[in-house]
Amino acid sequence: MAQTIRLLLADDQALVRGALAALLGLEPDLEVVAEVGRGDEVVEAALATGPDVALLDVDMPGMDGIAATVPLLAAVPACRVLVVTTFGRPGYLRRAMAAGASGFVVKDTPAAQLADAVRRVAAGLRVVDPQLAVESLTSGASPLTEREHDVLRAARSGGTVADIARGLVLSEGTVRNHLSSAIGKTGARTRAEAVRIADENGWMLG
């Protein structure tokens, strides 16, 4: 009989988390031992339950799943991380792999394939959604500087240049320069379009 693989599920949507737990729980060799709805609860749950594989959503309150991967692996080195997300974005894939994740799949992956991905990750293999892997190779890394990322993230809410400047403690001229540079680098025509392009490429996480 195969050894049971212990799983931790982290997803802020209770219905999604419950569905994943139910589907994976049907597999005779998989056991869900912990469920959390926030990224900053992952490490504590892992320390308490000792999972073999943690399935982490990207977009969660407290801490995103990619950021949570780093302290999780530091606290429980034997645990493997499989990022399971709605957002199949090349930038997210690159960041997840850089953080130490062993796999990255999208949530609409069929249940049997997801269970197989869990087993492969538990066995020490890497599992990456093939289409996303190709997109990641062709899209390249983010061309934006850290400050340009900050300004675009602040621009998401639609505030004025003055609002952004106050929030980041920068001069309005500096904010305009960073916005102009980000618009140019993304090939956008407006700052709203630059935000959208950066989002779609997974450059805006955090």
Q: Provide the residue ranges of all domains of the chain, joining segments of one domain with +.
A: 5-138, 146-200
Q: Which residues contact 84 (CB under 8 A, 6 or more apart)?
A: 11, 20, 55, 56, 57, 105, 106, 107, 109, 114
CB 165 within 8 A of CB 172: yes
CATH number for the segment(s) 5-138: 3.40.50.2300
54-96 pLDDT per residue, tens: 999 998 999 999 999 999 999 999 999 999 988 667 678 878 8
Residue 91 or residue 177, greater confidence: 177
Residues listed for the chain: 206
Q: E strands, 42-145, where?
A: 53-56, 80-85, 103-106, 127-128
Mean per-residue pLDDT of the chain: 87
**Residues in a beta bridge with 7:** 32, 53
Which CATH code fits 146-200? Answer: 1.10.10.10
> Distance between the two ends of the chain, CA-based, in angstroms?
42
pTM: 0.68
Token duo for residue 203: 């450059």
Summarize pLDDT for 114-123 with one digit per residue, the tens.
999 999 999 9
Q: Which helix (H) or strand (E) holds 175?
A: helix 172-186
d(CA 137, CA 2): 36
